[in-house]
Structure 1
Amino acid sequence: MRASTFILSALGSSVFAAPTFPDLNVAAALPGGIDTVAEYFNLLASKVQASKILIQAPVCDLSKAFLPAAPTPLPPPTAGLYLKHVALGRGTQNYTCDLKNATAVPVANGAVATLFNASCLASTYPDLASSLSRAAIQFNLTENESKLAPSNLGVSGLHYFTTTTTPFFNLDVSQNLKLGEAQCNKTNNTPAPANAAKGQKGEPAVPWLKLVAKAGASGGLQEVYRVETAGGSAPASCKGLTPTFEVQYAAQYWFYAK
């Protein structure tokens, strides 16, 4: 893993993504990648035009947001929970390879991502939110992330792993939000839709997930869904790879609380 991608946390062995600014990577974009970005801006323009004729500005009401469903749906949020936050995650899925084993396959080794506040986007313009995942994967990760290209969404949190199997979400990094923190267990997964966006090198989209918060979560956080994924999957074998490597991805994270 690149040293510039991670910094050690004061929380012991935890690691998380150092903020890096996604810049348009024309050279690495997939065939048709620029068209994907153009489609996003065309859709954005149509929303802006539509908003001009509204009597009042759209209201950010998460009660009106509906969790996207995969072809094989994940279990629904537990009764009594409410949608507290929606974030667009942009970062890397991380893997290891045993190069001493000729038949080795990549092993998942956590992920790191910066989370961007997409709550109003998901509740007001869900089609635009879905399109943003596809467009964001076309923008490479560089060193000074504070906004999500190609949008102006601000940072609302960080996502990383405290162990190889324990995802962690820190939604307290923004002085304006302070939404809580949670370590989670994965309880369910389902394949991403067949038409899900691929990564910059043609990697399939990682599965959609349902996660449940462990004891000690703050902010009332109870359940987290990873949906609308783009890229992130590892190659089928370790042939030609290094002992550790990263695959860029984008995804929506939906946070439910009590």
Structure 2
Amino acid sequence: MKHFLALSFLLVVADVQGYSGLPHPLALASSFSQIYHQLDKINLGNCSLADVSLPLDATKSPLPAPSTNLRLKYVALGRGTQNYTCPSNVPSNSQTTIKPQAIGAAATLFDASCIASSSLALLHEVPAIISATPLGSLAFTAALVAQGTRSDNIIIGEHYFDAGADPVFDMGLSGSDFWVATWKIASTPAPKSTSGSSGDIPWLKLGYKKGSGIQVSSGYPRLPDLSIHI
């Protein structure tokens, strides 16, 4: 129930920021007030992940399991962009259709530990919801919700590719100095989502290359949003 209220608040704010002709403003203000008072009792970040397990059996070809001496440290939902480029050796007057090449991605990471600890099914459906919300609106709403709940910070990090084309997960926005640059160990096609989203990139198992505070990571990304399990 508490996560339903929080998601309702997020969706209402997203709708408000995307539409200026608001009907029934008094009713809308009343809804905001009721939800906001309930949020004061809710913790949306930094929940225990002791009982959360990775759904490695959700794909047709399971990924290798993480080492048994590791513990789940973060579950985050990322909202960002996939970056592409065109080959530089194509003549400017060419009539040939060239497929763009993926060269990396950038995303803001939002703490999803409380959703993951209560409902993995909900966790995998949320990306389809936030993909329609502009990143600026989403970040503003997350900051607003964090202020109105018992959550320290819902925006916990950034994902990007460094100069060496290594995928990096920097959790500095959570107040820590944890970060990790990774490399791909294994890949498998993403499972179908019940929300009907398509175009999900493969799930990956990522290995430690360098970093601080995070020894090994396993990541399972989705586009246009990035779900990270470290």
Common topology (TM > 0.5): yes
2-structure distance, mates of 1:68, 1:26: 34
Deviation at 1:179, TM superposition (A): 6.0
Alignment equivalent of 2:50, drawn from 63, 72, 89 = 63
Matched to 1:253, the amino acid is: I
1:84 aligns with 2:73: yes
1:117 aligns with 2:117: no
Residue 39 of structure 1 aligns with which residue? Answer: none
Residue 140 of structure 1 aligns with which residue? Answer: 134
Q: Deviation string for 1:143-175 (max 9, x for gaps)?
A: 7824459x8671000111103631111112222
1-structure distance, mates of 2:137, 2:48: 33
Deviation at 1:103, TM superposition (A): 4.3
Residue 208 of structure 1 aligns with which residue? Answer: 203
2-structure distance, mates of 1:218, 1:73: 28
Q: Is the 8 A contact 1:110 1:164 kept in 2?
A: no
Alignment equivalent of 2:214, drawn from 210, 213, 220 = 220
Matched to 2:217, the amino acid is: E
1-structure distance, mates of 2:184, 2:133: 28
Residue 166 of structure 1 aligns with which residue? Answer: 166
Matched to 1:184, the amino acid is: T
1-structure distance, mates of 2:86, 2:164: 14
2-structure distance, mates of 1:121, 1:157: 17
**Would the alpha carbon gap of residues 67 and 206 (structure 1) be closer, same or farther in structure 2, given more than 3 Å must change?**
same
Q: Which has the higher contact order (CA 8 A, sep 6+)?
A: 1
Task: Look up the SS of the partner of 1:62 in the other structure.
Answer: coil
How many residue pairs match? The answer is 182
**Would the alpha carbon gap of residues 197 and 94 (structure 1) be closer, same or farther in structure 2, given more than 3 Å must change?**
farther
2-structure distance, mates of 1:180, 1:87: 14
Q: Is the 8 A contact 1:146 1:154 kept in 2?
A: no
2-structure distance, mates of 1:155, 1:91: 13
2-structure distance, mates of 1:192, 1:104: 26
Matched to 2:161, the amino acid is: F
Residue 194 of structure 1 aligns with which residue? Answer: 192
Alignment equivalent of 1:128, drawn from 112, 117, 122 = 122
Deviation at 1:93, TM superposition (A): 0.8
> Which protein has the bigger strand share?
1
Residue 61 of structure 2 aligns with which residue? Answer: 72
2-structure distance, mates of 1:144, 1:119: 17
Residue 4 of structure 2 aligns with which residue? Answer: none
**Identity across the alignment (%):** 34
Q: Is the 8 A contact 1:23 1:141 kept in 2?
A: no
Matched to 1:68, the amino acid is: P
Q: Deviation string for 1:189-242 (max 9, x for gaps)?
A: 11112347677xxx6111111111213x11133113124x2xx4xxxxxxxxxx
Alignment equivalent of 1:182, drawn from 160, 180, 183 = 180
Task: Look up the SS of the partner of 1:220 in the other structure.
Answer: coil
> Which protein has the bigger helix share?
2
Normalising by structure 2, we get a TM-score of: 0.67
Q: Is the 8 A contact 2:77 2:109 kept in 1?
A: yes
Residue 157 of structure 1 aligns with which residue? Answer: 157
Q: Is the 8 A contact 1:95 1:106 kept in 2?
A: yes
Unpaired runs of at least 5, structure 2: 1-12, 20-34, 39-45, 147-152
2-structure distance, mates of 1:146, 1:213: 32
Task: Look up the SS of the partner of 1:131 in the other structure.
Answer: helix
Residue 244 of structure 1 aligns with which residue? Answer: none
In our comparison, the structure showing a higher alpha carbon Rg is 2
Matched to 1:78, the amino acid is: S
